[in-house]
Amino acid sequence: QDGRLEPGLSEKGRTAERPSVPGVLALALCRGVFAESDIFKGDFILEYRGDLIDPEETFRSFIIAKPPITALNVIDAARDDGTLGRLVNDDHINPNCKMKRIMVEGKPHLCLFALKDITPGDEIRYNYGDADCPWRNQVRIVKDILKSDIYIN
């Protein structure tokens, strides 16, 4: 539409005004991808672009860099090419989109599709899968602290 590869989406830094857990995860979650226009259930949103690498190489880079689990086996997006797929954050509880692997001419492409209607301003988030994501534990720990007696106002 406007010549950008990913129209209708923008990258934003997450700041203290939109933290998942007030004051705690704001720094860890520094950037994310946000809708600029309406996206409807089933719509294609973006492709998680990266370099196609062999499984052995993927295993090595996973040990070193820990890319999101959905990207394992085929696509390594460690190299910043300016596209937004590599900036989409995880939500394992209420994701609004889903990553699907689509084969085109024998080559895998990881594509993000909307699971529900998404309105402008919403953050695009998918479930990274069963990956051992440390931030999920952080949320649990913070919730436990807030519920416990040791939390002093």
In the chain, the largest separation of any two C-alpha atoms, in whole Å, equals: 59
Judged by phi (left if over 0) then psi (alpha if -120 to 50, else beta), residue 10 lies in: beta
Q: Whose Cβ is closer to ligand SAM: residue 114's or residue 123's?
A: 123
Q: Whose Cβ is closer to ligand SAM: residue 79's or residue 152's?
A: 79
Q: Whose Cβ is closer to ligand SAM: residue 85's or residue 114's?
A: 85
Shortest separation between residue 29's beta carbon and ligand SAM, angstroms: 4
Report the SS3 class of residue 43.
Answer: coil
Q: Whose Cβ is closer to ligand SAM: residue 80's or residue 105's?
A: 80
Shortest separation between residue 153's beta carbon and ligand SAM, angstroms: 25
Shortest separation between residue 52's beta carbon and ligand SAM, angstroms: 18
Distances (CA, A) of 30 to 65, 113, 147: 17, 23, 26
Q: Whose Cβ is closer to ligand SAM: residue 2's or residue 80's?
A: 80
Shortest separation between residue 149's beta carbon and ligand SAM, angstroms: 27
Q: Smallest Cα–Cα separation from 55: which of 37, 41, 76?
A: 76
Q: Which residues bind ligand SAM (CB under 6 A)?
A: 25, 28-32, 68, 86-87, 89-90, 135
Q: Please check whether residue 11 is in contact with residue 130, taking contact to mean a CB–CB distance below 8 angstroms.
A: no
Would you state the torsion angle of the CA atoms of residues 19, 21, 25, 31, taken in this order, to the nearest 10 degrees? -30
